[in-house]
Amino acid sequence: MPFKTSTTARLALHTLIGSNEALSTKTREFMPNAKYNLTLPNKSKLEHPGASLARIAPRQYHPEMNSRFSRHVDRDEIVAIVSELVRHDTTNPPGNEHLCKEIVTKCMRSLGMEISYYEKEPGRTNVVGRIGSGDRSIGFVSHMDVVPPGERDQWNTPPFEPTIAAGRIYGRGTLDDKGSFACAYSVCKAFTAEHPDFDGTIYLIAAADEETGSELGIIYLVEECGIRFDVAIIPDGGRMDLSIYGEKGILWVEITSLGIQAHGSTPELGRNAIIPLAELIAQMKSLDLGAQYDHAFDGWTMNIGTIQGGSSANTVPSRARATIDFRLPAGITKEQVLAAIDAKASLVRAASPQAEFSMSVLHETEPHLSDKNSVIIRSFDQAARRLGLPMKYETFGGNTVAKNLFFAGITSVVHYPGDDKLAHVPNEFVIIDELAVGSVLYAETLESYFFD
Ligand SMILES: [Zn+2]
């Protein structure tokens, strides 16, 4: 059946880097030519399910060597940029993307870009670099905010202290999406080195607020600041061998259960709000939204993400709340989901007539599918073929800024120089080799886009 329970990507990274193991921590100032003594990858460490590099070919995987752009890709510089960005805690909320402004500016300035800053709210800085003046334009959009690190004891290394081991950089944001920014910078550098007089315009964007909906980020840039390009590359989803051309819609529903407060010693005088909510949540396990949807998507998902209620053990709770995250393919509507929840609430009320629920929608986006024949996806595919990189095209339940751009009329390629299963988890890491391969892959994409 299409229903899939949400599974937290559980990656037993602690088995890979034991806490006793000596790790080389390289967190020096960003210097373009800084040299790092990278620990050499050892085979057992690379053969991890999260390491897409290892999945394609365990060792000696350097397809970028088939490209003349590769000689402009400087791994040490990439590592230095990622490390410096990760050291600045831009957990959103609150964001504080301004902390990355200087580093990003330095990168853009070194490429001779024209740089602009946009802030819808103080401290929530978007940095936009632009190079070239031709009509054809393309944007690289990465984001500077990161999700919270979560439980610290799940991390083997401090999340905001980049740690280099086994050819990887560990830390919150190393992949999502600071590694992607370093990669996009490296692309612009390689491409403009080979084509200093290209006829077109490239935007390199370090956006704010992606992790909580982009209202202060790409939506603001496109809708209020007049930033515009024909197509985009979004290094923020998928995997080295997987590009994402469609994204499900999101629907966040909050269910509130109302009761009557009373003293914990006299529960018969009140009405407990938690119990009917618990019953409703138990009912949700068998929620069925059917299979009438666009099968370019793999189905719908549901995650009961939060539950809150009560104020103390000795008080009958008068209010309890749960929030649920649905990811919906085209063909399953919000109304359908709300009606299905309502039917479950009716079942609870049939057994407990005093149960009282209300529902509200906290957030929603529409599903979208990009045209696989669009010029940017074709250019990307050509580039992958040229490098001999296997590439699949799929849809997923995540939302990237590609969705915002799609509804603004801009088609994107979504692809990670890494693996999106490693985003938002403890011990997030990026494989340095993959940032280098991504640099060349996207530079080749630019070449196809501007010259073919
Ligand atoms: Zn991201």
Question: Which pLDDT tens digit goes with each residue over 234-283?
Answer: 999 999 999 999 999 999 999 999 999 999 999 999 999 999 999 999 99
Token digits of residue 302: 């549901």
- What is the whole-number distance in angstroms between the Cα of residue 24 and the centre of ligand 1? 26
Q: How far is the CA of 60 from the centre of ligand 1 (A)?
A: 28
Letter for the amino acid at 272?
N
The answer to whether residue 142 sits within a structural domain is yes
* CA–centroid distance, residue 13 to ligand 1 (Å): 20
Instruction: For residue range 25-35, list pLDDT tens digits in order.
Output: 333 333 333 33
Please state, for a pLDDT cut of 70, what percent of the chain lies above it: 86
Q: Are residues 139 and 25 in the same domain?
A: yes
178 and 288 housed in the same domain: no
Q: How far is the CA of 86 from the centre of ligand 1 (A)?
A: 14
Residues 333, 409 within the same domain: no
- Residue 193: CB atoms within 10 A of its CB come to 14
Whether 262 and 230 map to the same domain: the answer is: no
- Tell me how far the alpha carbon of residue 43 lies from the centroid of ligand 1, in angstroms: 28
Give the CATH number for residue 264. Answer: 3.30.70.360
Q: Which of 334, 364, 394 is the last residue of a domain?
A: 364
Do both 96 and 229 map to the same domain? yes
CATH code where residue 39 lies: 3.40.630.10
Task: Mark whether 229 and 108 lie in a shared domain.
Answer: yes
pLDDT digits 0-9 by tens, 82-96? 999 999 999 999 999
Percent of the chain with pLDDT over 90: 85
The pLDDT value recorded for residue 14 is 26
User: Given pLDDT bands bounded at 50, 70 and 90, which one contains residue 66?
Assistant: confident
Q: Looking at residue 414, what is its pLDDT?
A: 98
Q: Is the pLDDT of residue 47 over 90?
A: no
For position 45, what pLDDT does the model report? 36
Q: Are residues 296 and 437 in the same domain?
A: no
Distance 58 CA to ligand 1 centre (A): 26
At 1, is the pLDDT very low, low, confident or very high (cuts 50, 70, 90)?
A: very low
Q: What is the pLDDT of residues 382-435, one digit of tens each?
A: 999 999 999 999 999 999 999 999 999 999 999 999 999 999 999 999 999 999
Distance 282 CA to ligand 1 centre (A): 32
For 236, phi then psi, to 5°, come to -155, 30
CA of 176 from ligand 1 middle (Å) equals 4
Q: How far is the CA of 218 from the centre of ligand 1 (A)?
A: 13
Asked whether residue 1 is domain-assigned, the answer is no
Does residue 304 share a domain with residue 182?
no
> Which of 36-40, 82-86, 372-376, 395-399 is predicted least confidently?
36-40
Within a domain: residue 269? Answer: yes
Residues 311 and 381 in one domain: no
Q: How far is the CA of 409 from the centre of ligand 1 (A)?
A: 21
In this structure, the answer to whether residues 301 and 405 fall within a common structural domain is no
Taking the centre of ligand 1 as the mean of its atom positions, its distance from the CA of residue 129, in whole angstroms, is 19
Residue 301 has pLDDT above 50, yes or no: yes
Overall average pLDDT of the 306-311 stretch? 96
The confidence score (pLDDT) of residue 363 equals 94
Q: Which among 364, 397, 423 is the end of a domain?
A: 364
**Do residue 12 and residue 88 come from a single domain?**
yes
- CA distance linking residue 326 with residue 301, whole number of Å: 6
Cα 93 to averaged position of ligand 1 atoms, centre (Å):
14
pLDDT at 49 over 80: no
User: 9-36 burial string, b = 16+ CB within 10 Å, else e?
Assistant: eebebeebbeeeeebeebbeebeeebeb
What pLDDT is attached to residue 418? 94
**pLDDT for res 5:** 34
Residue owning tokens 């040490």: 76
Residues 280-298 have pLDDT tens digits of: 999 999 999 999 999 999 9
Q: What is the pLDDT of residue 77?
A: 98
Distance 177 CA to ligand 1 centre (A): 5
Burial pattern 358-374, b for ≥16 Cβ within 10 A else e, equals eeeeeeebebbebeeee
Of the residues 364, 395, 427, which one is the last residue of a structural domain? Answer: 364
* Contact partners, residue 24, CB within 8 Å, separation at least 6: 37, 39, 163, 164, 165
pLDDT digits (tens, 9 = 90+) for 117-147: 999 999 999 999 999 999 999 999 999 999 9
Alpha carbon of 400 to ligand 1 centroid (Å): 7
Distance in Å, CA 142 to ligand 1 centroid: 7
DSSP code per residue over 259-275: -B-EETT-GGGSB-SHH
Nearest to 331 by CA among 386, 279, 395: 395
Asked if residue 2 belongs to a domain, the reply is: no
Taking 70 as the threshold, does the pLDDT of residue 445 lie above it? Answer: yes
Say if 410 falls within a structural domain: yes
pLDDT-derived band at 64 (thresholds 50, 70, 90) equals low
How many angstroms is it from 302 CA to the middle of ligand 1? Answer: 20
231: confidence class by pLDDT, cuts 50, 70, 90: very high
- Average model confidence (pLDDT) across the chain: 88
Instruction: Give yes or no for a cis peptide into 49 (omega within 30° of 0).
Output: no
pLDDT at 42 over 60: no
Instruction: Kindly state the DSSP code that residue 28 receives in the 8-state scheme.
Output: P
Mean local confidence (pLDDT), 97-126: 98
**Could you give the count of Cα atoms lying within 13 Å of 391 in the half-sphere of its Cβ?**
25
Indicate the angle between helix axes 101-110 and 75-86, nearest 10 degrees: 160
The band of 61, judged by pLDDT with boundaries at 50, 70 and 90, is low
Q: Is residue 236 part of a domain?
A: yes
Hey, what are 295's tokens?
A: 């099968």
- How many folded domains does the chain comprise? 2
Residue 392 located in a structural domain: yes
What is the residue-wise DSSP string for 29-74? PP-TT----PPPP-HHHH--TT-HHHHH-SS---GGGGSGGGGG--
* Structural domain containing residue 326: 249-364
Same domain, 25 and 166: yes
